[in-house]
Amino acid sequence: MQLRVLQFAVLAVLVLLWHIFVKPGLLPNFYFDQDNRAAFFFGEPAKVFWVIVEWFTSFEIFQHLGVTLLETVLGFMIGSVAGLAIGLWLALSDTASGVMEPYIKGMNSMP
């Protein structure tokens, strides 16, 4: 139970800091040339919350979530099929495997 309280406290502190930092006049002028620019770039937490509530209550967001889900599934399927095809090609062709080996090892060494 205490862990949940601490997790909620961290969330509350982050939202409070977000709210404080977008208030005009808090950040020095060298960050933003006008006082209200912080709120423009980062949004005010209360306004962001009510926009999200409006999206869900008007069901507007579900179309966008559906498109995002479709793109995710299609991307996964295309990547899986392409990866399997290239992997099979490299496994069955000694020439292709030999040519691509240094490049694959080089890519595997990158973070």
Domain ranges for the chain, please list them. 1-58, 61-111
pTM: 0.62
Please determine, for residue 18, whether its predicted confidence score (pLDDT) is greater than 70: yes
Please determine, for residue 26, whether its predicted confidence score (pLDDT) is greater than 70: no
For the stretch 4-40, what's the b/e string if a residue is b when 16 or more beta carbons lie within 10 angstroms of its beta carbon?
Answer: eeeeeeeeeeeeeeeeeebeeeeeeeeeeeeeeebee
* 35-90 per-position pLDDT tens digit: 667 677 788 899 999 999 999 999 999 999 999 999 999 999 999 999 999 999 99
Q: Which residues contact 27 (CB under 8 A, 6 or more apart)?
A: 21, 38
